[in-house]
C-alpha cells in the first residue's frame, strides 16, 4: 500500500543521527525518497552515526537515498546539495531544517566566535536552505518546510541568550516564508518538542534527566501530522509536538478514523486488560522506579499472548548518575557517597531559586510541602537484583545485554559491572 509521502522527495539536514536520522527513516517508511544531509561521514564513539549509515537504512526500507556531506555554514555547499537533490530526484517537496548548534551559557561565557557559530549553523543555515529550495517548490506549486525552533517568546531565557536569539530568528523565518509563499501552496511551520528528545546532543550536553527525555519518534509523529496535510491546510504556525498531535487525534476522531495510539493511566500491577491481550510490551526506564517490579512482571506475563515479548532497559543503581538527580547535582555516584536525607536537603537548596522548583521537587520528592526524607524517584534497581527478579519470573530470557559506559571502560565493566555499565537491555518472552 503506497505511503502518505509516496513520490515525494525530502531534504533533511542534520540527518546522520538523532532526530534527523529518525525522521529520514520515518519519512522513507511513509514513501519518500530522502536527501541525507549532514557533516558526518564517519561514525565515532562520541557521535555515532553518519550520512552513509542513515542512507543505507533508508535503502533497506526500499526507498532511494542520496547522502550529501554538507557544512551548513557554507552557502556554496548548501546550493550544491539542493542542486544534487534536484538532479538526482527531479523534484524537492519537503525541507526539514533540523541541523543546529547548542550553546547554553551566559553572555559573558559566549565569545563572538561562539555567537557567530550559533547564528551560522542555526538561523543562517535554515535561511539559505529555504532560499535555494523555494524556487523548486514554486515550480511545483507544492511544498512543506519545517524548521526546528520553539515558538517566539518574550521570556528572558538567562543562560541561553545567544542560543535563543538564533532560535527566535528561525521561528521568524518560518512564519515569514509562510506569509510570502502561501499563494504558491508552500507551507512553512516551526516545530519544537515540549520535553528534550534523547539524542547525542542532549546526552553530551547533559540536558535534563533521562527520565524526562522522549524518543525521537514523537517528533516523527508530529512531523507526519504536518506533512499529511495539504500545504494550504497547515502553514504559518509555531507548533509544539504535543499540540499538533492533539490536533491530529481530534481530526482523526472527526473523520471517524482510528488513531494509532491510545493513552491510559493505570496501575502496572493491575492492568485493565484481559489475559493474552498484547503481542509486545515496552517498558523503557521503568523497572528501576516501580515499587513492585516482581508484580509488574507477573502482570505483564498475564496480558501478553503466548510468544509475546517484554522489552525493557534501565540504568543500574550504581550508574554514575543512577540517582536521577543530575539535573542539578552533577557529581558522579553521588548517591553512593551520601545518604538520601543529605541528598534531599542538597537538592532542595540547589533548586529553590529556579523558576520550575516546585515541579522538580514534586517529581523527585513527592509533595514539596512535606518534610519526607524519601527520594520517591531514585533508582533502586541493581543488575544483580533485576537478574534475580527475572529468573524468578515465569518469563524466559530471549536477550540479555549489559552496555558499558564507554567502550574503553569495557574491561572495568567486566570486573565491576554495577559501577561501569550504562544500561541493562533485556527481552523476555512468554
Q: Which of 62, 79, 70 lies closest to 20 in space, CA to CA?
A: 70
**Which DSSP state fits 216?**
T
What DSSP letter does each residue of 3-58 carry, written as one string?
Answer: -TTTT-EEEEETTTSHHHHHHHHHHHHTT-EEEEEES-SS--SSS---HHHHHHHH
3-class DSSP assignment, residue 406: coil
Task: For the beta carbon of residue 255, count every other beta carbon within 10 angstroms.
Answer: 7
Give the C-alpha separation, 356 to 361, whole Å. 9
Chain-centroid distance of CA 328 in Å reads 21
What DSSP letter does each residue of 218-264 carry, written as one string?
Answer: HHHHHHHHHHTS-GGGS-S-EEEHHHHHHHHHHHHHHTT---S----
Please answer whether residues 91 and 139 qualify as being in contact, where contact means their C-beta atoms are separated by less than 8 angstroms: no
Bridge-based pairing of strands 421-429 and 396-404 is antiparallel
Catalytic residue among 132, 163, 318, 347: 163
Q: Is 131 a catalytic residue?
A: no
Q: Which of 213, 206, 147, 140 lies closest to 174 in space, CA to CA?
A: 147
Dihedral angle over CA of 9, 15, 18, 22, nearest 10 = 20
Please answer whether residues 97 and 145 qualify as being in contact, where contact means their C-beta atoms are separated by less than 8 angstroms: yes
**Which DSSP state fits 150?**
P
Please answer whether residues 50 and 42 qualify as being in contact, where contact means their C-beta atoms are separated by less than 8 angstroms: yes
Chain-centroid distance of CA 313 in Å reads 17
Exposure string over 232-250, b if 16+ CB within 10 A, otherwise e: eebbbbbbbbebbbebbbe
Which residues are catalytic, by number? 163
Amino acid at each position: 500500500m503506497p505511503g502518505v509521502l509516496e513520490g515525494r522527495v525530502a531534504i533533511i539536514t542534520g540527518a546522520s543521527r538523532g532526530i534527523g536520522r529518525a525522521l529520514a527513516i520515518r519519512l522513507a517508511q511513509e514513501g519518500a525518497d530522502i536527501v541525507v544531509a549532514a557533516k558526518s561521514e564517519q561514525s565515532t564513539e562520541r557521535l555515532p552515526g553518519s550520512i552513509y549509515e542513515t542512507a543505507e537504512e533508508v535503502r533497506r526500507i526500499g526507498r532511494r537515498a542520496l547522502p550529501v556531506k554538507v557544512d551548513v555554514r557554507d552557502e556554496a555547499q548548501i546550493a550544491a546539495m539542493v542542486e544534487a537533490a534536484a538532479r538526482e530526484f527531479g523534484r524537492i517537496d519537503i525541507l526539514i531544517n533540523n541541523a543546529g548548534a547548542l550553546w547554553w551559557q551566559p553572555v559573558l561565557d559566549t565569545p563572538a566566535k561562539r555567537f557567530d557559530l550559533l547564528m551560522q549553523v542555526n538561523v543562517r543555515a535554515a535561511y539559505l536552505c529555504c532560499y535555494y529550495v523555494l524556487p523548486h517548490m514554486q515550480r511545483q506549486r507544492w511544498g512543506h518546510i519545517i524548521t526546528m525552533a520553539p515558538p517566539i517568546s518574550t521570556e528572558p531565557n538567562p543562560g541561553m541568550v545567544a542560543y535563543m536569539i538564533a532560535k527566535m530568528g528561525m521561528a521568524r523565518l518560518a512564519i515569514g516564508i509562510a506569509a510570502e509563499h502561501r499563494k504558491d501552496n508552500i507551507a512553512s511551520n516551526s516545530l519544537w518538542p515540549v520535553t528534550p528528545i534523547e539524542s547525542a546532543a542532549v546526552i553530551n550536553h547533559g540536558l535534563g534527566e533521562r527520565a524526562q527525555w522522549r524518543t525521537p519518534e514523537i517528533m516523527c509523529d508530529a512531523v507526519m501530522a504536518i506533512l499529511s496535510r495539504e500545504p494550504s491546510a497547515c502553514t504559518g504556525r509555531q507548533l509544539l509536538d504535543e499540540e499538533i498531535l492533539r490536533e491530529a487525534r481530534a481530526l482523526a476522531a472527526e473523520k471517524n478514523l482510528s488513531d494509532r495510539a491510545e493513552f491510559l493511566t493505570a496501575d502496572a500491577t493491575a492492568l485493565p486488560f484481559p489475559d493474552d491481550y498484547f503481542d509486545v510490551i515496552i517498558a523503557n526506564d521503568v523497572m528501576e522506579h516501580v515499587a513492585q517490579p516482581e508484580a509488574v512482571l507477573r502482570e505483564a506475563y498475564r496480558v501478553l499472548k503466548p510468544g509475546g515479548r517484554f522489552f525493557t532497559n534501565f540504568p543500574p543503581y550504581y550508574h554514575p548518575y543512577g540517582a536521577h538527580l543530575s539535573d542539578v547535582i552533577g557529581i558522579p555516584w553521588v548517591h553512593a557517597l551520601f545518604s538520601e536525607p543529605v541528598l534531599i536537603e542538597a537538592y532542595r537548596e540547589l533548586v529553590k531559586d529556579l523558576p520550575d522548583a516546585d515541579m522538580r521537587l514534586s517529581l523527585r520528592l513527592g509533595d514539596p510541602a512535606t518534610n519526607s526524607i524519601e527520594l520517591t524517584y531514585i533508582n533502586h534497581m541493581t543488575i544483580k537484583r533485576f537478574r534475580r527478579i527475572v529468573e524468578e519470573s515465569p518469563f524466559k530470557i530471549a536477550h540479555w545485554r549489559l552496555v558499558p559506559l564507554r567502550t574503553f571502560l569495557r574491561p572495568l565493566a567486566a570486573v565491576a559491572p554495577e559501577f561501569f555499565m550504562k544500561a541493562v537491555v533485556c527481552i523476555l518472552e512468554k
